[in-house]
Amino acid sequence: MRDLPCGGLRIVVELELRRVACRSCGAVKRERLDFLADNSRYSKRFAFYVGRRCRSSAIKDIAEELHLEWHTVKELEQQYMREQLRRAGTPGPKVIGIDEVSIRRGHTYRIVVSDLLRRRPIWFGGADRSEASMDEFFTGLGAKKNAGIRLAVMDMWKPFRTSTTTHAPQASILFDKFHVLRHLGDALDTVRKSEYARLAGKDRRFIKGQKYTLLAHRENLTLEGKKSLKLLLTANKRLHTAYLLKESFGQLWSYHREAWARRFFENWRASLKWQRLQPFERFAAMIERHWEGIAAYCQPENKVALGFVEGLNNKIRVLQRRAYGLRDEEYLRLKILTTMLPPL
């Protein structure tokens, strides 16, 4: 049995496991020792050591460092993650965040549900992002815990909303700010593309390759990026107007009363008049259709940290890049569900 290294030396412990024949059924069973990993060639603490190392390093790197097979490292890490989940448990969530992740090309989706108060994902599954897949979460959680959910944060995807109102009708629905702003960014990029197609010659040079300069927050731009943005907005009045509309819309989430938020939105929408910005008009119509779920953020009890969902999505993308080519969905599920848990 391989144990933790000591002083740079590999430690191997020799032991004998007793085999016992059952007099009733005749089966021969081997005794289980609490300090052994599921793979009895390794101690449990060695498995947990490998699991902790894999939180920040790739399986291949740990395998090379510890002189182990790739599949052995993966097996030990999975035992570590399963123990993390067992110890964490699944207490009834009060505020949940619902999102989908693409696990493969071709729009293959799975649903991730997070406990936003405890700041950890609690479910990964479903066959797609349908209502039936969302129902699987609520069915597994149980009616008692469903009744304790007071707020569900999600994008504007109808199947998520329908499933939530069916299983947790008492929960308020809040549409995630970052998904709403993503639609606004798409509207701005559509204007950019139309301007690029409309112009010709040297007038195009300020627009080409500036998608992310327009979509990024100004404070996140480099000095060179800020210079490019200034040139672009000076050269194209229509894009300048669209950019200012995009930047100002984020103020909507700063209000503490729905009436104030509504007045801001009405003024913002009125400023679109005569601008001939059809993508922004379509965006405003979408906000109107989903107003109740967006304005829910004005309620004091709904002031939750929406940035956690976006931060989790970034972590999941990192995990997917690190596990590129690995088609073991159970391994990805364990990685996602344990990414916010403390190490053992």
Residue type (1 letter), 202: K
Are 148 and 253 in the same domain?
no
Q: Are strands 151-154 and 172-175 parallel, antiparallel or unpaired?
A: parallel
CA 109 to chain centre: 12
Task: In whole angstroms, give the CA distance from residue 288 to residue 20.
Answer: 71
- As beta bridge partners, residue 12 has 2
Residue showing tokens 């050591």: 49
pLDDT at residue 306 in the model = 73
Are 68 and 115 in the same domain?
no
CATH number at 332 reads: 3.30.420.10
Are 291 and 315 in the same domain?
no
Are 153 and 185 in the same domain?
no
Give the domain-ending residue among 40, 55, 88.
Answer: 88
Q: What is the pTM of this model?
A: 0.85
CB atoms within 10 A of CB 11: 13
Give the domain-ending residue among 37, 72, 88.
Answer: 88
User: 155: domain range?
Assistant: 95-176+306-338
Instruction: pLDDT tens for the chain, 344 residues: list them.
Output: 899 988 888 899 888 888 888 888 888 888 788 888 888 899 999 999 999 999 988 899 999 999 999 999 999 999 999 999 999 988 899 999 998 888 776 678 899 999 999 999 999 999 999 999 999 999 999 999 999 999 999 999 999 999 999 999 999 999 989 899 999 999 999 998 988 888 877 777 778 878 888 888 888 888 888 888 888 888 889 999 999 999 999 999 999 999 999 999 999 999 998 888 999 999 999 999 999 999 999 988 888 877 777 788 788 777 777 665 567 889 989 999 999 999 98
pLDDT at residue 56 in the model = 86
pLDDT at residue 49 in the model = 95
pLDDT at residue 148 in the model = 95
Are 76 and 140 in the same domain?
no
pLDDT at residue 219 in the model = 82
pLDDT at residue 322 in the model = 67
Are 152 and 184 in the same domain?
no
Give the domain-ending residue among 69, 88, 107.
Answer: 88
pLDDT at residue 102 in the model = 82
Q: Which residues of 307-340 are buried (b: 16+ CB within 10 A; e: fewer)?
A: ebbbebeeebeeebeeeeeeeeeebbbbbbbbbb
Q: Do the domain assignments include residue 344?
A: no
Residue showing tokens 């938020």: 261
Counting the structural domains of the chain, the total is 3
N-to-C CA span, the chain: 21
Quote the tokens at residue 120. 């950890």
